[in-house]
Structure 1
Amino acid sequence: MELLYLSHCVPNPPDKGEKIRAYHELNALAARHRVHLSCFARSEKEMEDARALIDRCASVYVAPLFPYALHVARAGVRFALGASLTDAFYSSRRFSADLLELLASRPIRGAVAYSTAMAPFVPAELPLVLDMADVDSEKWRAYARYRKPSFLFQTEAERLARLEASQARRARVTLVTTAAEREALLRIAPGVECEVMENGVDFDFFDPERLPAHSALAGRRYLLFCGQLDYYPNEQGILAFAREIFPELRRRDPGLELIVVGRNPGPRLLALAALDGVEVAGTVDDVRPFYRHALATVAPLKIARGIQNKVLESLAMDKPVLASPEVCQTLGAELPRGVRCCRTVEDYAAAPEGGGIRRHAMRRFSWPQNLRVLERAVARMEQAP
C-alpha cells in the first residue's frame, strides 16, 4: 500500500540515536510498501541526505529547520503563550499544506509518525501508527530535577504529556522502546493501545571480527564513553564519572585510561583532558576501533530514556558495559549479558564480565526481528476497512 512516513529528523545516515531507529524503520517499510517520506532537516547537508532516500521511497519531502536559532526563538514565543515547546518547534504551516497536497494527489492509506511531534500533522481521517519511541515528557521532568530554572522544564513536561496522551489516544497503536516507557505512557494515557518495540543494532557493521587491530589503541587499557556530547544527559553523566569515579579507579590502577568519543564536546567536556588519564577524542571517523580495544564501555547517565544505542553497540562489539542504575532500568528486569549495574566505585572497579556477550545480544537486539512489531501494526492498518 501507499504509506506516509513522517519523521522529526532525517532518517539518514544512521549515525545518531534518533536517526538509527528511523533509518531501520524506513528501510523495513519501504521493502514492502510505497513509502512517502516527509521530514525535517537541520542543515543543507541533512537536506541532501534526505533527498538521497529517493532510491527507496516513492517520494521525499524535506523541510528546513534552520537557521536553528530562529526556530528556537519562534518556539520560545509560542511556549510563552502556552504551547508545548516541542510542538511549537516543529509546527509548520508550510509543512502541513504541502502534506495535504500530497495526500490529495496519492492514494495513501495510512501513516507512521516517528515521534509525538509529527503526529499532529496527520489528518484525523487517516489511520495512524505512532512510534513515540520515548515518553519525552518524562525526560523533561528529569531535567527539572537537575537544571535551572526548573519550573520551565516542569512546565514543558506537563504540556508535552498532554500532547503525548492526546496523540496516543488517536493512534491505532503507539510503539515505545521499553517496558518502562510503556508504563510511563499508560500513566498519562490509561487504556491506550501500546506495544514495546526495542531498538536493534547493526551486527554486520559492529562486528569485531571484521576490524583489524588499531595501532594507536591496541595495547592501551582504557574505559570508553561514546555518545553525542552536546546532549545534556550524556554531558552530565560523563562529567560526573570523569570527576568523581574515574580518579579513584586510576588511583587503584595507574595504567587505566578513559577515552571520551562523540560529536560536539563543549568547553566543560574538553576541560576533562586536563585530568590524569583522560582523553577527549571528540569526533572520530569510526567508533568501532575504540569499542574493539576497550576494556569496557561506561554508561553512567543519571537521565536515561529509551534504550541507549551506545550500550547496544558495545554489546555487539562483544564488550561489557558498566552502566548506571538509570540506564539499567531501561533494559528491563533481565539485564543483557555483559551489562553490570554500577552504583559505587567498587562496582566500576570489579573485573568486567566477558564471554558470549555478542552472541546473547544478537538474540534480543536484532533489527529484522524487532521491527516485526511495526510491520504487524502497519499490516493491521492496511487490513482495516
Structure 2
Amino acid sequence: MSSHPVQKKRVLWINHFVPYPPKGGLLIRTHGLLDKVLDDHEVTLLCLVQPRLLAPYFESVEKGLSEAKEFFESRGARIQFFSMDNEKTKWHRLKTAGLSLITDNPYSVNWLHSAALKAAANELNYDSFDYIHVDTMGLLGNLGTTLPADKTVVNHHNAEHTMMERRAEKETQWAKKRYYAIEAKKIGRFDAQMMRHYRNHIVCSPEDKNALSKLVPGMNVDVVPNGVAFKHEVERTPQVGKLLFIGGLDWYPNHDAITYLLEAVCPLIKQHNIPIHIDIIGKNPATSIKNMASRYDFVTIHGYVDDINVFYRNAQAFLCPLRDGGGTKLKVLDAMNYGLPVIGSDIAFEGITVTHNESGYVVNSTETLFKTLCELVQTDKNTESIGQKGRQLVAEKYDSKTISERYSHLISEYN
C-alpha cells in the first residue's frame, strides 16, 4: 500500500443490490469494500433493488431503502435505487428462466435487466467520474460497452461460469443438468465478450483469477480478498459436540450442503450414537430440509436468527460441507473470526489459506468428515487452539478494514 496521502477521486459505483445491511455474503463483501472508499472518495451509488435480499432484515422494502439511504448519505455518498423488471414476482423470475433458454444471454444477465437503470446510465456524464466500479458482470447487460473502458473496473463475487459448470456436473436430473451446462457456456461467452472491452477486473481469490484468465488471457485482474471486520475480543464458552452452520438456505450451495449433511452424515451420527447437536441457521429453509431434519433429535433448524452471537459463543466447531458454489465463503471467515475451528471442504476454503489440522479441518469425503466429528467429541482434539489460529489468519489476511483501505488506495492510484 502506498504511504502517500489518498488522492480523492470521483467514484461511480453501480451495484446489483443495495449493499445494506452488512449481513450475508454479497452484502458483507460489497459493504466492506465500500467502507474506506466512502471516507476517502466522492461516491455516487446506483443500486438495483432486490426485495428478497432486504426482506429478512426489515419490516418492509421501503423501510430498508430508507435506512440504506440514510446510512450512505450520512457517509457522504449520493445514492439512487432502481427497480428490476424481472424481480417483481416469482412468475417473472420463472418466465425469465424460460426465456433464457432461447436467448443468447444467460439468465444471470437477463434477470438483472432494468429499464430504469439503463435509462439513468444513458443520461450520465462519464467524464465527471474518475473511476467506475461495476459490482458484477451481469450488470453489463444493462450497460453494454457504453462505459469508458479505461476507468471501469468489474468486480466478480465469484467466477460465475465455473460455479455453473460445477452445478451442471453434480446435477443428476437430465433436464436441469442440460440447462446448467448451457448456462455455463452462455455465461462464459458473455463474460469473454465483455472482458475484451473491459480489461480491468477484481476477484476475491486466486482461483477466480485463474478462471477468468483462462477465458480471456491478458486481463488486468487484481485479487481483492473477501473480508470480515476483525473482532479484537470474542467470548468463547464452547460445548463439546455442539456444531453450527450459518448460511442462507435459499442459496443452492448451502441447500445442497445441508441436504448432504442430513442424508449422508446424520445417519452415521445416529447409527453410532455420537453425542452431537447441530444447529442450522439460515433464512428460508426448504420444506425438504425441515422434513429431513425432523428425523434427528440432534438437529435443530432455526431459520433466520437476528442475534447469532450466542451460537458462535457456544459452538465447538463450524460445519461447512459445501460441494458447490464459488468465490470466498464469508460464512467461513465469520466463523473463524469468532474463534470457531471450521470443518469444511476444499470448496468451503477456496481463497482462504487454511492449513489442515492447524488453522482448520479440510475434509472432502463423508468418511473423513464423520471421523473428524468423532475425534472432536471423543478427544476434544485441541479445537480451541485451531480456532485461535484461524482467528489469527483473519487478523493477518482477511480483515475487511485493511482490505477496504487497500481498495481505496487502488482507486486513488488508478490512472
The two structures have a TM-score, normalised by structure 1, of 0.89
Equivalent pairs counted in the alignment come to: 374
Indicate conservation of the 8 Å contact 1:178/1:332, yes or no. Answer: no
Deviation of 1:299 after TM superposition, in Å, equals 0.4
Q: What is the alpha-carbon distance in structure 1 between the residues aligned to residue 233 and residue 258 of structure 2? A: 26
SS at match of 1:325: coil
Residue number in structure 2 paired with 1:370: 403
The correspondence for 1:208, drawn from 219, 226, 234, is 234
Residue number in structure 2 paired with 1:347: 372
Q: What is the alpha-carbon distance in structure 2 between the residues aligned to residue 173 and residue 100 of structure 1? A: 22
After superposition, give the CA deviation of every residue in 1:340-361 in whole Å (9 maximum; x if it has no partner): 1113221333235332232332
The correspondence for 1:48, drawn from 53, 66, 83, is 66
Q: What is the alpha-carbon distance in structure 1 between the residues aligned to residue 73 and residue 339 of structure 2? A: 35
Residue number in structure 2 paired with 1:30: 38
Once the two structures are superposed, the pairs formed by residues 107-118 of structure 1 within 5 Å of their partners are: 107-118=128-139
Residue number in structure 1 paired with 2:169: 145
After superposition, give the CA deviation of every residue in 1:46-73 in whole Å (9 maximum; x if it has no partner): 4334423222243211112341425422
Q: What is the alpha-carbon distance in structure 1 between the residues aligned to residue 302 and residue 116 of structure 2? A: 41
**Partner AA of 1:180 in structure 2:** E
Q: What is the alpha-carbon distance in structure 2 between the residues aligned to residue 333 and residue 186 of structure 1? A: 24
SS at match of 1:159: helix
Deviation of 1:26 after TM superposition, in Å, equals 2.0
Deviation of 1:16 after TM superposition, in Å, equals 1.2
SS at match of 1:265: coil
Q: What is the alpha-carbon distance in structure 2 between the residues aligned to residue 88 and residue 219 of structure 1? A: 47
The correspondence for 1:263, drawn from 271, 283, 290, is 283
Instruction: Tell me, yes or no, if structure 1 residue 124 matches structure 2 residue 147.
Output: yes
Indicate conservation of the 8 Å contact 2:244/2:311, yes or no. Answer: yes
Q: What is the alpha-carbon distance in structure 2 between the residues aligned to residue 41 and residue 282 of structure 1? A: 23
The structure-2 alpha-carbon separation of the partners of 1:50 and 1:162, relative to structure 1 and needing over 3 Å to count, comes to: farther
Q: What is the alpha-carbon distance in structure 1 between the residues aligned to residue 23 and residue 354 of structure 2? A: 28
* Deviates further, 66-75 or 91-100: 66-75
**Partner AA of 1:229 in structure 2:** L
Q: What is the alpha-carbon distance in structure 1 between the residues aligned to residue 122 and residue 294 of structure 2? A: 51
Residue number in structure 2 paired with 1:242: 262
Residue number in structure 2 paired with 1:60: 79
Deviation of 1:264 after TM superposition, in Å, equals 0.6
Q: What is the alpha-carbon distance in structure 1 between the residues aligned to residue 17 and residue 25 of structure 2? A: 11
Indicate conservation of the 8 Å contact 1:12/1:50, yes or no. Answer: yes
Q: What is the alpha-carbon distance in structure 2 between the residues aligned to residue 166 and residue 142 of structure 1? A: 22
Structure 2 residues not aligned, in runs of 5+? 1-8, 52-60
The structure-2 alpha-carbon separation of the partners of 1:165 and 1:375, relative to structure 1 and needing over 3 Å to count, comes to: farther
Aligned Cα root-mean-square deviation (Å)? 2.5
Deviation of 1:27 after TM superposition, in Å, equals 2.1
* Deviates further, 183-192 or 369-378: 369-378
SS at match of 2:156: strand
Indicate conservation of the 8 Å contact 2:274/2:374, yes or no. Answer: no
Query: With CA pairs under 8 Å and 6+ residues apart, which has the higher RCO, 1 or 2?
Result: 2
Residue number in structure 1 paired with 2:244: 224
Instruction: Tell me, yes or no, if structure 1 residue 288 matches structure 2 residue 309.
Output: yes
Deviation of 1:130 after TM superposition, in Å, equals 1.2
Q: What is the alpha-carbon distance in structure 1 between the residues aligned to residue 286 and residue 108 of structure 2? A: 24
Q: What is the alpha-carbon distance in structure 2 between the residues aligned to residue 18 and residue 340 of structure 1? A: 25
Q: What is the alpha-carbon distance in structure 2 between the residues aligned to residue 320 and residue 161 of structure 1? A: 35
Q: What is the alpha-carbon distance in structure 2 between the residues aligned to residue 373 and residue 170 of structure 1? A: 25
Indicate conservation of the 8 Å contact 1:10/1:50, yes or no. Answer: yes
**Partner AA of 1:247 in structure 2:** P
* Deviates further, 93-102 or 350-359: 350-359
Q: What is the alpha-carbon distance in structure 2 between the residues aligned to residue 19 and residue 86 of structure 1? A: 18
Instruction: Tell me, yes or no, if structure 1 residue 164 matches structure 2 residue 183.
Output: no
Residue number in structure 1 paired with 2:57: none
SS at match of 2:348: helix
Q: What is the alpha-carbon distance in structure 2 between the residues aligned to residue 125 and residue 339 of structure 1? A: 43
Indicate conservation of the 8 Å contact 1:129/1:378, yes or no. Answer: no
Deviation of 1:253 after TM superposition, in Å, equals 5.2
Q: What is the alpha-carbon distance in structure 2 between the residues aligned to residue 111 and residue 135 of structure 1? A: 20
Deviation of 1:252 after TM superposition, in Å, equals 4.3
Q: What is the alpha-carbon distance in structure 2 between the residues aligned to residue 335 and residue 197 of structure 1? A: 24
Indicate conservation of the 8 Å contact 1:38/1:61, yes or no. Answer: yes
Deviation of 1:292 after TM superposition, in Å, equals 1.1
Deviation of 1:219 after TM superposition, in Å, equals 5.3
Residue number in structure 2 paired with 1:96: 118
Indicate conservation of the 8 Å contact 2:230/2:400, yes or no. Answer: no
Indicate conservation of the 8 Å contact 2:354/2:360, yes or no. Answer: no
The structure-2 alpha-carbon separation of the partners of 1:305 and 1:37, relative to structure 1 and needing over 3 Å to count, comes to: same
Deviation of 1:277 after TM superposition, in Å, equals 0.8
SS at match of 1:328: coil
